[in-house]
């Protein structure tokens, strides 16, 4: 398969042009067409010689990702379902203003993007893992989600979270390439402080990231403060139990990198006072902030969110132990905004349709 136009890196493009005897300024001209003017084919790059356009067309694939469904909710969170060139489905969520989302200022327009088709990690609260992993997205398919959502919504995105379908660190090479494009001034120009990668806790990759030059913020989905509780929610905890995971985090933080925790509050599962106290110990050890997220109901799963009083009680224990913890007001609850749900519903509907004809 040819590399995608929306996965092009300026420096690599300059090398490609040099090998063909084309002037180096063409590289910036081309990335401007792709990432600033947002054209979807080399034919539209009218200031390039025809011969060069033909060479680029032969070398790179043009975007084939298609938006097949858009759902908007009462609070204006919007969900986008994409069909990829191989007919697989992925989704992105646009969240307009989120005061409590990762502590960002309230005027940020956040996109939650997918990094894989499906997911192999099977976290028990998540629809994305219900049908397993299909394949990794390439960098172009990740970047295209931002470009297509901006075009469809008319919004300028200035905050990116890799918290959609897939485990981003299981697709590390493509993830880092996409982040380079999203962050670069010749690319989408979104600052590193406004790019957050969320992981279920792949300890070896967290160590690898400690030595990585690409900048972004790392969020660890903890969801349980002891192996017993975390293991019930996240099967990955069997492979990387808390001791192994937290040692990798120690290494990451020792390299002067900060991380934050996400903790989904599930009634009767991980919302006890004892879990709050254990969580506070872990957060203090790593100087990490905690983002508490009330559980989002997933069709087919039986868990529920704790009462607002219990959510606030959990938060206040953390605060009493000196930990900074925000409690997110759940957005998009009414449009199945938790990752993987829209895709799952669409796949089921397509299956039913096929059965009925």
Q: Which part of the chain contacts ligand SF4 (CB under 6 A), choosing from 10-18, 34-42, 151-159, 162-170?
A: 162-170
Give me 191's structure tokens. 């600052």
Q: Which part of the chain contacts ligand SF4 (CB under 6 A), choosing from 99-107, 125-133, 141-149, 303-311?
A: 125-133
**Binder of ligand SF4 out of 6, 98, 200, 311 (CB under 6 A):** 200
**Binder of ligand SF4 out of 63, 166, 187, 224 (CB under 6 A):** 166
**Binder of ligand SF4 out of 165, 169, 182, 265 (CB under 6 A):** 165
How far is Cα 91 from Cα 342, in angstroms, rounded to an integer?
7
Confirm or reject binding of residue 262 to ligand SF4 (CB under 6 A): no
Site string for ligand SF4, 319-348 (x = CB under 6 A): --------------------x---------
Q: Which of 11, 66, 91, 212 is catalytic?
A: 91
Smallest gap from residue 116 Cβ to ligand SF4 (A): 8
Confirm or reject binding of residue 263 to ligand SF4 (CB under 6 A): no
Site string for ligand SF4, 52-91 (x = CB under 6 A): ----------------------------------------
Smallest gap from residue 132 Cβ to ligand SF4 (A): 10
**Binder of ligand SF4 out of 128, 136, 196, 315 (CB under 6 A):** 128
**Binder of ligand SF4 out of 121, 216, 261, 314 (CB under 6 A):** 121
Residue 102: CB partners within 8 Å, gap ≥ 6?
A: 159, 161, 196, 217, 219, 260, 291
Q: Which of 281, 299, 280, 290 is nearest to 258 (CA)?
A: 290
Smallest gap from residue 21 Cβ to ligand SF4 (A): 45
Q: In the 3-class helix/strand/coil scheme, how is the chain assigned residue by residue?
A: CCCEHHHCCHHHHHHHHHHCCCCCHHHHHHHHHHHHCCCCCHHHCCCCCHHHHHHHHHHCECCCCEEEEEEECCCCCEEEEEECCCCCEEEEEEECCCCCCCCCCCCCCEEECCCEEECCCCCCCCCCCCCCEEEECCHHHHHHHHHHHHHHHCCCCCEEEECCCCCHHHHHHHHHHHHHHHHCCCCCCCCHHHEEEEECCCHHHHHHHHCCCCCCEEEEECCCCCHHHHHHHCCHHHHCCHHHHHHHHHHHHHCCCCEEEEEEECCCCCCCHHHHHHHHHHHHHCCCEEEEEECCCCCCCCCCCCCHHHHHHHHHHHHHCCCCEEECCCCCHHHCCCCCHHHHHHHHHHHHHHHHC
- Whichever of 121 and 263 has its CB closer to ligand SF4, that residue is 121
Q: Which of 202, 227, 95 is nearest to 149 (CA)?
A: 95
91 is catalytic: yes
- Whichever of 96 and 122 has its CB closer to ligand SF4, that residue is 122
Q: Which of 59, 228, 339, 352 is catalytic?
A: 339
**Binder of ligand SF4 out of 8, 89, 126, 203 (CB under 6 A):** 126
**Binder of ligand SF4 out of 40, 93, 119, 265 (CB under 6 A):** 119
Smallest gap from residue 168 Cβ to ligand SF4 (A): 8
Count of residues interacting with ligand SF4 (CB under 6 A): 12
249 is catalytic: no
**Binder of ligand SF4 out of 71, 123, 161, 259 (CB under 6 A):** 123
Catalytic residues: 91, 339
- What is the binding site for ligand SF4 (CB under 6 A)? 119, 121-123, 126, 128-129, 165-167, 200, 339
């Amino acid at each position: 398969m040819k590399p995608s136009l929306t996965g092009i890196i300026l420096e690599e493009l300059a090398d490609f042009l040099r090998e063909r005897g084309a002037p180096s300024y063409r590289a910036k001209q081309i990335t401007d067409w792709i990432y600033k003017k947002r054209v979807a084919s080399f034919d539209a790059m009218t200031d390039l010689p025809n011969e060069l356009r033909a060479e680029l067309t032969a070398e790179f694939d043009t975007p084939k990702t298609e938006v097949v469904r858009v759902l908007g909710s009462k609070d204006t969170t919007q969900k986008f379902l994409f069909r990829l060139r191989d007919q697989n489905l992925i989704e992105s969520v646009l969240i307009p203003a989120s005061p409590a989302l990762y502590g960002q200022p309230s005027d940020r327009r956040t996109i939650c993007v997918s990094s894989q088709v499906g997911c192999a990690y099977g976290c028990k609260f998540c629809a994305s893992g219900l049908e397993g992993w299909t394949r990794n997205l390439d960098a172009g398919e990740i970047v295209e989600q931002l470009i297509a959502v901006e075009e469809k919504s008319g919004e300028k995105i200035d905050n990116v979270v890799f918290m959609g379908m897939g485990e981003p660190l299981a697709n590390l090479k493509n993830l880092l390439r996409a982040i380079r494009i999203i962050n670069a001034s010749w690319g989408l120009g979104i600052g590193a402080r406004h790019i957050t990668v969320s992981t279920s806790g792949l300890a070896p990759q967290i160590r690898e990231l400690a030595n990585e030059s690409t900048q972004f913020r790392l969020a660890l989905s903890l969801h349980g403060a002891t192996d017993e509780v975390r293991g019930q929610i996240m099967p990955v905890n069997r492979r990387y139990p808390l001791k192994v995971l937290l040692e990798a985090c120690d290494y990451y933080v020792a390299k002067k990198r900060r991380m934050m925790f996400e903790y989904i509050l599930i009634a009767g599962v991980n919302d006890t006072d004892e879990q709050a106290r254990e969580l506070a110990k872990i957060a203090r050890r790593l100087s990490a902030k905690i983002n508490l997220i009330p559980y989002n109901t997933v069709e087919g799963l039986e868990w529920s969110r704790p009462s607002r009083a219990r959510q606030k009680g959990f938060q206040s224990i953390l605060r009493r132990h000196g930990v900074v913890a925000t409690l997110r007001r759940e957005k998009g609850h009414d449009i199945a905004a938790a990752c993987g749900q829209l895709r799952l519903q669409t796949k089921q509907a397509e299956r039913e349709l096929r059965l009925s004809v």
